Amino acid sequence: MAASSSSSLCPNRALSVSSSSRSRHPQLTSLLRLPASTSSISSASRISFDSRKRNFAVRASAAPVMDHSTSASSSSPAVPTLVEVDLGNRSYPIYIGSGLLNQPDLLQRHVHGKQVLVVTNTTIAPLYLDKTIWALTEGNPNVKVESVILPDGEKFKNMVGVMLSFVPWETLMKVFDKAIETRMDRRCTFVALGGGVIGDMCGYAAASYLRGVNFIQIPTTVMAQVDSSVGGKTGINHPLGKNLIGAFYQPQCVLVDTDTLNTLPDRELASGLAEVIKYGLIRDASFFEWQEKNMAALMARDQDAFAYAIKRSCENKAEVVSLDEKESGLRATLNLGHTFGHAIETGFGYGQWLHGEAVAAGTVMAVDMSYRLGWIEDSLVKRVHKILQQAKLPTSPPETMTVDMFKSVMAVDKKVADGLLRLILLKGPLGSCVFTGDYDRQALEDTLRAFSKL
């Protein structure tokens, strides 16, 4: 539901890390502070809200971009960078760095009880489960760790006729079964070890089990590291729409060990870059310009480039979540391309395309519609096409998608309010966008017809 007034943006709320936060993390030498007021927020983007039309706008301004060669290579790879998600007494850190699973204290400081349940899948378990268990128990023999290993990929879809978030409800029950069988109590901690699907499902299980237990995110894909593990969105899909069942439930921490990207397939890596590109388009023009210059390095898995891209993405996500945790308006702008993309995932079949692939095609459609409305220049349309092609991402939906398929799925999108489909569209210079239902419906119709069958 859209916010009824601009107060939902918390304009006077401090985004800098408090002294209590610093005392909780005394060993961290690299601390990244977020803006402390709306005046400092404007250094990255300007936010406006029209309460009469329930529209949000993010307007670009020049924000300095750090040279990734100085930010990542000048410090020891063992020292994590910290981005804090400021949510008052529910604030939590995002640790970013190489080899963080080799530092037991980072995880153990966020485990409050003596029981831990690690949720992972058959792909990740052989690679990182033992290391994660070691990090949870090293020097801490009183902690008992259980694990549940779920099938990955196509196995999820074929288990039952109804598939939810690539996992059927019966698979989600396996997490609850393990927790109940091992008598996990309310002081237990669930740990999500994997990509976005594992993180969303484990978080939803943690939000539901005993009406809520602690959980930790250890994302192992680009998509999860730059987006889905941060901000507390958890849930599963329904055959009629993506992410329609879930909860906002924040983790105790997010631990991003960039070494896990070494085992990530090229297609998964490219998929995650769709979300990185999104941040530049909607609110961080200088970051987008940096991506244009460094996309080849990202595709080549340059460690310094990826460390910077992850950090900058998390800073953007953390700032937005701190201002609008439950997506009353501003946070919805993070969904550029997602309304079209979710329709592709639902209509084409969950798992046929990776999430980032669908979002990439959806972003092109949102950009096309923005141009048809006269809100952006043709040069920006071309830049979006070029950078997505450099990232080896699709720039059009599957040929099997029809106009009716798009319309039927978009009609139940979470951003529909009072029967009105609201969209995130670009408007103005690079780094500016709006979340609005105030647009010419013919432009939407023309975009759908241009990209799909009748």
Give the confidence band of 371 by pLDDT, cuts at 50, 70, 90: very high
Condensed to tens digits (0 to 9), the pLDDT of residues 100-118 reads 999 999 999 999 999 999 9
CB-facing half-sphere around the CA of 53: CA atoms within 13 A:
14
- Report the predicted TM-score, pTM, of the whole model to 2 decimal places: 0.81
Active-site residue, selected from the candidate residues 84, 275, 345, 357 = 275
Active-site residue, selected from the candidate residues 178, 311, 338, 415 = 338
* pLDDT computed for residue 336 by the predictor: 97
| Residue tagged 């870059």 (tokens) | 273
Looking only at the bridges linking them, the beta strands covering 420-421 and 30-32 are unpaired
Spans of all domains in the chain: 1-74+266-454, 77-264
Look up 317 and say whether it is catalytic: yes
| Mean pLDDT across 279-285 | 98
Active-site residue, selected from the candidate residues 110, 283, 342, 422 = 342
Active-site residue, selected from the candidate residues 55, 243, 316, 335 = 335
Active-site residue, selected from the candidate residues 331, 372, 414, 422 = 331
Please state, in angstroms and rounded to a whole number, the distance separating the CA atoms of residues 319 and 220.
22
Please state, in angstroms and rounded to a whole number, the distance separating the CA atoms of residues 61 and 169.
45
Look up 335 and say whether it is catalytic: yes
CB 280 within 8 A of CB 431: yes
Please state, in angstroms and rounded to a whole number, the distance separating the CA atoms of residues 52 and 39.
24
Q: Give exposure, 22-46, as e/b (b: 16+ Cβ within 10 Å).
A: eebbeebeeebebbeebeebeebbb
* Nearest alpha-carbon partner for 344 in 324, 329, 358: 358
Give the confidence band of 246 by pLDDT, cuts at 50, 70, 90: confident
Look up 211 and say whether it is catalytic: yes
Active-site residue, selected from the candidate residues 268, 327, 345, 357 = 327
CB 451 within 8 A of CB 79: no
Active-site residue, selected from the candidate residues 154, 211, 399, 441 = 211
Look up 275 and say whether it is catalytic: yes
Which residues, in sequence order, are bridge partners of residue 32? 83
Condensed to tens digits (0 to 9), the pLDDT of residues 409-444 reads 999 887 888 889 999 999 999 999 999 999 999 999
Active-site residue, selected from the candidate residues 283, 355, 372, 414 = 355
CATH number of 1-74+266-454: 1.20.1090.10
* pLDDT computed for residue 58 by the predictor: 59
* Nearest alpha-carbon partner for 249 in 275, 279, 212, 285: 212
pLDDT tops 90 at residue 89: yes
* pLDDT computed for residue 151 by the predictor: 82
Element (H, E) at 132: helix 130-137
Which residues, in sequence order, are bridge partners of residue 218? 193
Q: Report residue 22 as tokens.
A: 């610093």
User: Is 77-264 a CATH 3.40.50.1970 domain?
Assistant: yes
Helices H / strands E in the chain, number of each: 17, 16
Q: Evaluate the CA torsion angle 375, 379, 380, 386 in order and state its sign.
A: positive
Those residues whose C-beta lies under 8 Å from the C-beta of residue 108, and which sit 6 or more positions away, are: 135, 136, 140, 143
Amino acid at 286: S
CA 392 to chain centre: 20
* pLDDT computed for residue 56 by the predictor: 55
* Nearest alpha-carbon partner for 405 in 354, 335, 338, 342: 342
Look up 385 and say whether it is catalytic: no
Please state, in angstroms and rounded to a whole number, the distance separating the CA atoms of residues 46 and 40.
10
Look up 338 and say whether it is catalytic: yes
Look up 327 and say whether it is catalytic: yes
* pLDDT computed for residue 162 by the predictor: 40
Element (H, E) at 425: strand 423-426
Q: Give the count of beta carbons closer than 10 Å to the beta carbon of residue 61.
A: 14
| Mean pLDDT across 67-95 | 75
Which residues, in sequence order, are bridge partners of residue 5? none
CA 59 to chain centre: 21
Which residues, in sequence order, are bridge partners of residue 233? 248
pLDDT tops 90 at residue 131: yes
Please state, in angstroms and rounded to a whole number, the distance separating the CA atoms of residues 92 and 271.
26
